[in-house]
Amino acid sequence: MSKIACFVEKYNFSDPREEAALYNFKNAAEKAGHQFNFLFRENIAEIPKYNAVFIRATTDPLFTAYIVSKTAWELGLKVVDDPESIKICANKIHQYALFEKYNVPRIPTVFLSKDDLHHKQIKEIFDTLGKPAVIKAPYTSFSRYVEKAACETSFRDVTKRFFKKSDVLAIQKFTPTAFDWRVGVLNNDTLYVCKYMIPKGKWKHGAKLRGKPTVVWGRTVAVGKQKVPERLKEVALKACSVIGKGLYGVDLKEVDGDFVVVEVNDNPSIYAGYEDSKDKDIYQRIINYLSD
Ligand SMILES: Nc1ncnc2c1ncn2[C@@H]1O[C@H](COP(=O)(O)OP(=O)(O)O)[C@@H](O)[C@H]1O
Ligand SMILES: [Mg+2]
């Protein structure tokens, strides 16, 4: 019998599909004879009472969720997401540098420092990556700091804004597709696969702003992990292997029949009737991992 704390914030219960998923975790745990309690920020002093912590609140090194993760980790508890994964996934520059180092198939990417923003460099970037180019600030999520620029003027305009957030930006080849593949990975194994459809006329799957009534753009189409190309799973697993052994949602694009990683997310969304609709065992598998 394991005692599992699920760290949540109030907004995790504001979307009924997410709330249902949270109760699916609770039911899966209790069915297996474990204790499963929701832990809110008022009660984080209770962490030492538990054997494992499962974080569902949004993770960021500046958020309470990180304190929870770090505390659990230092106490030797099993923790998803672990502090290292949170840190790497929060920083696209760090993450892309790891992909480069370990040869993970990825969208062609160059890094741009504040001091290198001049005509020659911009021209070289466009020559290498083509037009438009996609510009990303390292700490983006929910597509907030991901924009494209097709000429030097707009490139300067976007980068100037983003350099207020960070001294280094990632610039990528524009690789539009009708959907992003989303591969759920746990402990080096595929958990589920779905497609995050990109709305017509847009190029970003866009925002799942948890807790806010705003924008839920693309549809989610569960595919099932048995039904997808082996290569897709292979690339997704390779990407996660350079980050850690926890729970991740890998975004990939299909280009000329092969797959490139867009990014690895820790704390991937799990909504009842969406990510779980083909791979029903995801709740049980995550609970098994936490209680192992
Ligand atoms: N180089 C690119 N070319 C085309 N679309 C991209 C590119 N990079 C990201 N996107 C799309 O933009 C969205 C957000 O990008 P992502 O890197 O995942 O940032 P975030 O962390 O903000 O979600 C995704 O839907 C993704 O498919
Ligand atoms: Mg993303």
pLDDT tens digits for range 242-290: 999 999 999 999 999 999 999 999 999 999 999 999 999 999 999 999 9
Q: What is the mean pLDDT of residues 116-123?
A: 96
What is Dmax (Cα atoms) for the chain? 64
pLDDT score recorded for residue 144? 82
Which sign does the torsion angle of CA 85, 231, 140, 163 carry? positive
What pLDDT, in 10s, does the model give residues 11-22? 999 999 999 999
Taking the centre of ligand 2 as the mean of its atom positions, its distance from the CA of residue 93, in whole angstroms, is 14
- The answer, yes or no, to whether any atom of ligand 1 lies below 6 A from the CB of 175, is yes
- Of the two residues 212 and 34, the one the predictor is more confident about is 34
Q: Please, what are the domains in the chain? A: 3-88 (3.40.50.2300), 109-173 (3.30.1490.20), 176-279+287-291 (3.30.470.20)
Q: What is the mean pLDDT of residues 43-62?
A: 97
Pocket mutation for ligand 1, best pick of 203, 250, 266 (most atoms within 8 Å of C-beta): 203
Which ligand 1 atom lies nearest to the CA of residue 251?
18
Q: What is the dihedral of CA 278, 185, 11, 55, to 10 degrees?
A: 130
Q: What is the mean pLDDT of residues 165-188?
A: 97
Burial 160-181 (b: 16+ CB within 10 A, else e): eebbeebebbbbbbebebebbb
Amino acid in position 278? K
Task: Please name which ligand lies nearest the alpha carbon of 249.
Answer: 2
- The answer, yes or no, to whether any atom of ligand 1 lies below 6 A from the CB of 172, is yes
pLDDT score recorded for residue 218? 85
Mean predicted lDDT score pLDDT of the chain:
95
pLDDT confidence of 210, banded at 50, 70, 90? low
Taking the centre of ligand 2 as the mean of its atom positions, its distance from the CA of residue 195, in whole angstroms, is 13
pLDDT score recorded for residue 208? 46
The tokens describing 24, both together, are 């699916």
User: In this structure, which residue's CA is closest to atom 11 in ligand 1?
Assistant: 204
Task: Please name which ligand lies nearest the alpha carbon of 136.
Answer: 1
What strands, in cross-sheet order, belong to the sheet with 133-136?
109-113, 168-173, 133-136, 146-149
Pocket mutation for ligand 1, best pick of 204, 210, 250, 260 (most atoms within 8 Å of C-beta): 204
Q: What is the C-alpha separation between 281 and 191, in angstroms, rounded?
A: 8
pLDDT confidence of 46, banded at 50, 70, 90? very high
Q: What is the mean pLDDT of residues 58-70?
A: 96
Q: Does position 27 have pLDDT exceeding 90, yes or no?
A: yes
Q: Does position 141 have pLDDT exceeding 80, yes or no?
A: no
Which ligand 1 atom lies nearest to the CA of residue 107?
1
Task: Please name which ligand lies nearest the alpha carbon of 206.
Answer: 1
- The answer, yes or no, to whether any atom of ligand 1 lies below 6 A from the CB of 261, is no
65-74, 94-103, 218-227: lowest mean pLDDT where?
218-227
User: In this structure, which residue's CA is closest to atom 13 in ligand 1?
Assistant: 204
pLDDT score recorded for residue 100? 98
User: In this structure, which residue's CA is closest to atom 21 in ligand 1?
Assistant: 141
